[in-house]
Chains A and B, each alone.
Chain A
Amino acid sequence: MKYLLMIYQNPATWQAMPESEKNAFMSQAGAIVDELIASGEWVGGEGLADPSTAASVRVRDGVPAVTDGPFAEAKEQVVGYCIVDCESRDRAIEIAIRWPDARRWGMEVRPILSPDGVEM
């Protein structure tokens, strides 16, 4: 089953981090991605540009309203995501636990709805 792993960060804290620490984060995350590719569990994932570059879009009565910035103003924002296809929810959580951002900020693990189903 597929899971979305949403990576949360506080962009301000990240910016203030020393270069060596950032490098350690990146290489730890990179090593996990390599492992997931090798195990056949990696489906995809990317990092996102700074939340300040986001556009939030709503359409009301046919009128689009586009505002700069993310939907919810919060200290911690989604800064990247991975999609993994793995055996169980426990396995997806295990991957999230190892992700470096989980130690500093947090990860959210969400099952992805399958388009498949069986009648009851």
Chain B
Amino acid sequence: MRTDAGTERLLRDLAPQVLGAVVRRYGHFDAAEDAVQEALLAAATQWPAQGVPDRPRGWLITVASRRLTDQLRSDEARRRREAAAVMAEPAGPTTVMPDDERASGQDDTLTLLFLCCHPELTPASQLALTLRAVGGLTTGEIARAFLVPESTMAQRISRAKQRIAAAGARFTAPPAGEWAGRLRVVLHVLYLMFNEGYAATSGGETSRPELTAEAIRLTRAVHRLLPDDGEVAGLLALMLLTEARRPARCEPGGALVPLAEQDRARWDRKQIDEGLALVTGALTTAPLGPYQVQGAIAAVHAEAATAAETDWPQILALYNLLERITPSPVVTLNRAVAVAMVHGPGAALDLLAALEADDRMAGHHRLAAVRAHCHELGGDRDAAAAEYRAAARTATSLPERRYLEARAGRLARTGGPARAAGTAGITGTTGSP
């Protein structure tokens, strides 16, 4: 969509509301979604030249409804022709839809998120569909974000819509008993969207759309709708506090800079302040959940003026808490880093030994990387270098492999005792809950 930033923002905000309104009236999620994309495209080309209509949302709903009814009618006509049935086609004017009040548009956005994050879909499909239907990104933009051909992404999206139809999902909010569980799925999809985008910013593809911005925008929208939900606030805080580090996390050449070595003056203060306020508010008012705890961990890192001033006992306490509410090998791995900083590398290595037996973690490059880090802290440079090399061999990310190789190389070159570097959360910023 080539249009000025104001129009684009407006269209992105309106996209899910328009789709929600059209699906609510006509059903046919699949066809409705195509019709809304066409309406958005029409707006993107016409509005900059002719001006934004007085009621942009009503304009889009009208155009999309017209496209949809035309499409449904021509499908129907084709079916009839194919059946060679001689029947008069029901004529009738295309209905022009009245604009609804803003509030129902907001509710539609949430309902649409629930639909796109339907539990019948794989996470990859949930992500793609959410970006397309709620985010208003084109299939081409989503394909570029995931580095796959447009035809691959188109197929993924169309299959996701078919699955939703086959599952008999309707455009209604989930029943009360399922509501909380379904919201968790929505938040997880937004979390994955953010992580995907955050990892992508280390890659060289500058033309890729910014999924982090999209994830923050959508999470913000959910936070506006559910301001009292502590997990929504916690997730938004986690995203902002992580995104704040982006200016410092890569060297100009693209090499990754570990948290402990980042120039903290380059962290985005505005995002940090907003994230800190959100997480503090959520922790004091809402029931505790994993995103709030992860947000709190990110907050402790953000509050340290230098890596050396990091409050590791506090971080360890938070990881203990996180492991209690959502135990997972990734959380244990993160906790091991904090254990190393508080109780020393020996205690952390004991903890890691238990993880090696876990199928989900065995042979994972991050496990070897944390082991390397512990050996480095303990001054065993040979063991550290060997573990960094092992981690590099199993890494499937090019920048991470380069980082691990560089780390191993540094240990081999310098003659003195290993320096206590890389103190930060080695499993990255947002360990999966």
**A interface with B by C-beta (< 8 Å):** 1-2, 37-44, 85, 87, 111-120
Q: Is the CB of A113 within 8 A of B155?
A: no
Q: Which of B152, B200, B205, B396 contacts A113 (CB 8 A)?
A: B396
Q: Is the CB of A120 within 8 A of B249?
A: no
Q: Is the CB of A40 within 8 A of B156?
A: yes
Q: Which of A38, A85, A112, A117 contacts B403 (CB 8 A)?
A: A117
Q: Which of A39, A111, A116 contacts B202 (CB 8 A)?
A: A116
For the complex, is B256 an interface residue (Cβ under 8 Å from A)? yes
Q: Is the CB of A119 within 8 A of B428?
A: yes
Q: Is the CB of A120 within 8 A of B422?
A: yes
Hey, which chain B residues are within 8 Å of A1, CB to CB? 396
Q: Is the CB of A111 within 8 A of B396?
A: yes
Q: Is the CB of B398 within 8 A of A114?
A: yes
Hey, which chain A residues are within 8 Å of B366, CB to CB? 120
Q: Knowing A111-B396, A113-B396, A115-B204, say if A120 contacts B159 (CB, 8 Å).
A: no
Q: Is the CB of A116 within 8 A of B200?
A: yes
A114 to B259, CA, bound (A): 21
Q: Knowing A39-B159, A43-B149, say if A120 contacts B397 (CB, 8 Å).
A: no
Q: Which of B147, B196, B257 contacts A115 (CB 8 A)?
A: B147
Hey, which chain B residues are within 8 Å of A85, CB to CB? 146, 148, 152
- Tell me the residues in window 154-212 of chain B with beta carbons closer than 8 Å to chain A beta carbons: 155-157, 159, 195-196, 198-200, 202-205
Count B interface residues, CB 8 Å.
48
Q: List 9 A-B contacts (CB under 8 A).
A: A38-B159, A40-B156, A42-B152, A42-B155, A85-B152, A119-B258, A119-B424, A120-B259, A120-B403
Hey, which chain A residues are within 8 Å of B122, CB to CB? 87
Question: Binding site of A, secondary structure by majority: helix, strand, loop or mixed?
Answer: loop
Name A3's closest neighbour in chain B (CB-CB): B396
**B interface with A by C-beta (< 8 Å):** 122, 124-125, 146-149, 151-153, 155-157, 159, 195-196, 198-200, 202-205, 245, 249-250, 256-259, 262, 366, 369, 373, 396-401, 403, 422, 424-429
Hey, which chain A residues are within 8 Å of B125, CB to CB? 40
A118 to B259, CA, bound (A): 10
A120 to B423, CA, bound (A): 9
Hey, which chain B residues are within 8 Å of A114, CB to CB? 199, 203, 396-398
Q: Is the CB of A118 within 8 A of B198?
A: yes
CB distance from A80 to the nearest CB of B (A): 18
Name B204's closest neighbour in chain A (CB-CB): A115
Q: Which of A40, A42, A117 contacts B397 (CB 8 A)?
A: A117
A79 to B191, CA, bound (A): 41
A114 to B427, CA, bound (A): 17
Q: Which of B256, B259, B424 contacts A117 (CB 8 A)?
A: B256
Q: Is the CB of A120 within 8 A of B401?
A: no
Q: Is the CB of B397 within 8 A of A113?
A: yes
Hey, which chain A residues are within 8 Å of B428, CB to CB? 118-120
Hey, which chain A residues are within 8 Å of B204, CB to CB? 115
Query: Which one of A42, A87, A114, A119 has the greatest number of beta carbons of chain B within 10 Å?
Result: A119
Q: Is the CB of B396 within 8 A of A118?
A: no
CB distance from B430 to the nearest CB of A (A): 8
Name A37's closest neighbour in chain B (CB-CB): B155
Name B373's closest neighbour in chain A (CB-CB): A120
Q: Is the CB of A40 within 8 A of B198?
A: no
Q: Knowing A115-B204, A117-B199, say if A40 contacts B153 (CB, 8 Å).
A: yes
Hey, which chain A residues are within 8 Å of B259, CB to CB? 119-120
Hey, which chain B residues are within 8 Å of A41, CB to CB? 152
Given contacts A118-B199, A120-B259, 11 further A-B contacts (CB under 8 A): A37-B152, A37-B155, A42-B155, A43-B152, A44-B149, A87-B124, A115-B202, A115-B205, A117-B202, A117-B403, A119-B403
